[in-house]
Chain A
Amino acid sequence: MSLGPEASITDESTAPTADAAERPGEKAIAGRSLKQIAWRRLKKDKVAIAGACVVIFLILVAVLAPLLIKWFGHPFDEPHIDQLDPTLSTPLGKLGGISREFLLGVEPQSGRDIFSRIIYGAQTTLSVAFLSAFVSTILGTVFGLMAGFLGGWVDSVISRIMDFLLAFPQLLFAIALLSVLPDTFFGLGDRWSRVFVLVGVIGFFGWPYIGRIVRGQTLSLREREFVEASRSLGARSGRILFRELLPNLAAPILVYTTLIIPTNILTEAALSFLGVGIPPPNPSWGGMLSDAVTFYQIDPMYMIIPGGVIFITVLAFNLFGDGLRDALDPKAR
């Protein structure tokens, strides 16, 4: 009466899923995970790949900053008065003093090497952006999971806190907090002390963005039958959290982490621009932009360079993040 196993296999594989139909070599036995499928999709997205290349380039630059400065630049706080017009204190050469010696020109008034300051600033900016994204992701994932998985009053409390933080005037708060904190602590020196504080502040205010996504996804995943199936096998909460839920949350978490990095770059730049970020003479892109404001008519390059770098960096991260989201889109399963 019943069909044998072979018969049913052939019956059903005549109407395979769309995914299976696309597969070129039907013989391949090893399955393709969603990760591999996403990677294939991402590879086809030229714009996202371009963004990724820029991002990787920037990371390399930040990591190799000391070497690059040694080879192609000058110490970031070394004045070069000889490069400046003695009466106007503006760079002597064309385009803000761009030359073989000074790849991106020199600063007016002090004559410091802009190339070195940009590269050095990249190090600070990317450290702040990545570390604060990391802090936001950890907090957001932990609290989002707790809210979504435990539900009840835990969910109510965490959701209210997230609403509160999202409505909070965080820039004002950051300015107030940063201007009263000591310049150095833990013997870190003024640059890394400030990086530390910025990471804390930006990371803390960023977690509700991740938290809301994780909570929402957890709520919908929790209702999926595979979670019930796991429960009906006698799985403990730990297994359900780490084996069933987290693997499905990895993609959205990765995407939103990538997408808050550019936001963090902009926040750091804004805080430095306002004078509460990285303290001078340590270079930062926002600080350079702020210094350039007074010179924008006589030395526009001084403003265009940090502005352009911020723009390109943020754009690259956003393009990559968007591409990643499209590639991992669960709807395009």
Chain B
Amino acid sequence: MSENLLEVSGLQKHFPITKGLFKRQVGAVRAVDGIDLEVRAGETLGLVGESGCGKSTAGRLFTRILEPTGGKVVFEGNDISHKNVNQLRPLRRDVQMIFQDPYSSLNPRHTVGAIISAPLQIQDIPTPQGLKKAVQELLELVGLNPEHYNRYPHEFSGGQRQRIGIARALALRPKLIVADEPVSALDVSIQAQVVNLLDDLQREFDLTYVFIAHDLSVVRHISDRVAVMYLGKVVEIAERDDLYKNPRHPYTVALMSAVPVPDPARRDRAQRDRVLLTGDVPSPINPPSGCRFRTRCWKAQDICATEEPPLTVRLEDPQSHLTACHFPVVDDETVAGRRPAATPA
């Protein structure tokens, strides 16, 4: 459990913004701007943040679909940050991705059989039982009818399509799967089924997951640890129970208050403590100085604008709980009391 499968440090991805005929660079979208974290073998790391905070970009860097602008990606001790397409090919067997949009992640012109057998063909994996049988086994594994291998993606529902995407990712028997919001596009009723499927597969094949989501409730069930991202940076990372019990970063607290509270006795208090995230997310082209959350933070003080808070252990937190905030939220602090007048009630 303690061995690190994937380690990233100082990871950056800046997308250049070009202008005019000669593609002069006039700026950059700092989609991922300095992430340090590690993924331990066998665990599920939840990666949470609002839309546009760079989660997908981070996932694409972990799987090396994108090349980082800065920093390092180390998989099983090998630095893969700048390997080229050919050098990466063997790695593809070990690291796979499940994509966010089940409608655009499957080629509409290919049958399900062709889609799921593609990894086996591209990687020259021998299939003693025959390609068709191999595909059918995978279909069965993800809970689809193996007779459907000749059908086209448009004949399936969103949830079924996401299962096809899971089967494709599973075909190479990878060690690490980066699941990019695998259930966000699905009906709530189907989300649980797909999450459960991923859970079962993890146990069966010893998988390690990076599970991306845009709210904390989805990852709660499946994650061992959770990292919270804001504007291209990790602002808090902790063991799951620790994070949900003692959220330290004001942004995490805000995200958590967006999670519906099932217990009616607590709902009242939850309503009162509800922190509304006001204001727009600043642009990743020109992020705020110091702490990036300061434009929306109700605890912000002068130092927040000048000094960027490092991601370290705060208060009496365990070594595994890191927070990037000068004024972390203390356990019994009621958010409502600290809410500034500017925030609408």
Contacts and interface: CB of A to CB of B under 8 A. Distances in A.
Contact of B107 (A231, A248, A333): A248
B118 A233 contact: yes
B147 A29 contact: yes
Contact of A247 (B60, B109, B119, B189): B109
A232 interface: yes
B38 to A, nearest CB: 21
Interface stretch (A9-17, A170-178, A206-214): A9-17
A28 to B, nearest CB: 9
A156 B21 contact: yes
Nearest to A31: B151
B122 A3 contact: no
B196 interface: yes
A182 interface: no
Interface string A33-57: 1100000000000000000000000
A18 to B, nearest CB: 9
Contacts of A333: 108, 154
Nearest to A3: B193
Contact of A232 (B21, B63, B152, B200): B63
B97 A229 contact: yes
B122 A239 contact: yes
Interface in A206-252: 224-226, 228-236, 239, 243-244, 247-248
A226 B104 contact: yes
Contacts of A8: 143, 159, 193, 197
Contact of B154 (A5, A9, A17, A153): A17
Nearest to A237: B85
A182 B235 CA distance: 75
A236 B148 CA distance: 28
A45 to B, nearest CB: 21
B168 interface: yes
Nearest to B118: A233
Contact of B193 (A11, A32, A228, A236): A11
Contacts of B100: 225
A2 interface: yes
Contacts of B140: 5
Interface in A75-102: none
B187 interface: yes
Interface residues of A, number: 43
B145 interface: yes
Interface string B121-163: 0110000000000000000101111011011101111011000
B96 interface: yes
Given A9-B145, A156-B23, A34 B89 contact: no
B92 interface: yes
A180 interface: no
B122 A234 contact: yes
A31 B122 contact: no
Contacts of A67: none
Given A225-B100, A229-B99, A12 B159 contact: yes
A230 B110 CA distance: 12
Given A226-B105, A333-B108, A2 B196 contact: yes
Contact of B196 (A1, A235, A244): A1
Contact of B156 (A17, A235, A247): A17
B155 A20 contact: yes
A32 B99 contact: no
B111 interface: yes
B65 A231 contact: yes
A3 B160 CA distance: 14
B294 to A, nearest CB: 33
Given A15-B157, A232-B65, A31 B150 contact: yes
B199 interface: yes
A31 B111 contact: yes
A244 to B, nearest CB: 6
A9 B142 CA distance: 10
Contacts of B154: 17, 19, 34, 333
A248 B108 contact: yes
B195 to A, nearest CB: 9
Nearest to B195: A2
Interface in B23-46: 23
29 contacts: A1-B196, A2-B196, A5-B140, A5-B142, A8-B143, A9-B143, A12-B159, A12-B160, A13-B157, A15-B157, A16-B157, A17-B155, A17-B157, A20-B156, A29-B151, A30-B150, A31-B155, A32-B152, A32-B155, A34-B152, A225-B104, A226-B105, A226-B107, A233-B92, A234-B89, A248-B107, A248-B108, A248-B109, A333-B154
4 smallest beta-carbon distances between A and B, as pairs: A31-B151, A5-B143, A2-B196, A247-B109
Interface of B: 21, 23, 60, 63, 65, 85, 88-89, 92, 96-97, 99-101, 104-112, 118-119, 122-123, 140, 142-145, 147-148, 150-152, 154-157, 159-160, 165, 168, 172, 187, 189-190, 193, 196-197, 199-200
Given A2-B196, A225-B104, 10 more contacts: A5-B144, A12-B159, A19-B155, A20-B156, A31-B152, A31-B155, A226-B107, A229-B97, A229-B99, A333-B154
Interface of A: 1-5, 8-9, 11-13, 15-17, 19-20, 23, 29-34, 152-153, 156, 224-226, 228-236, 239, 243-244, 247-248, 333
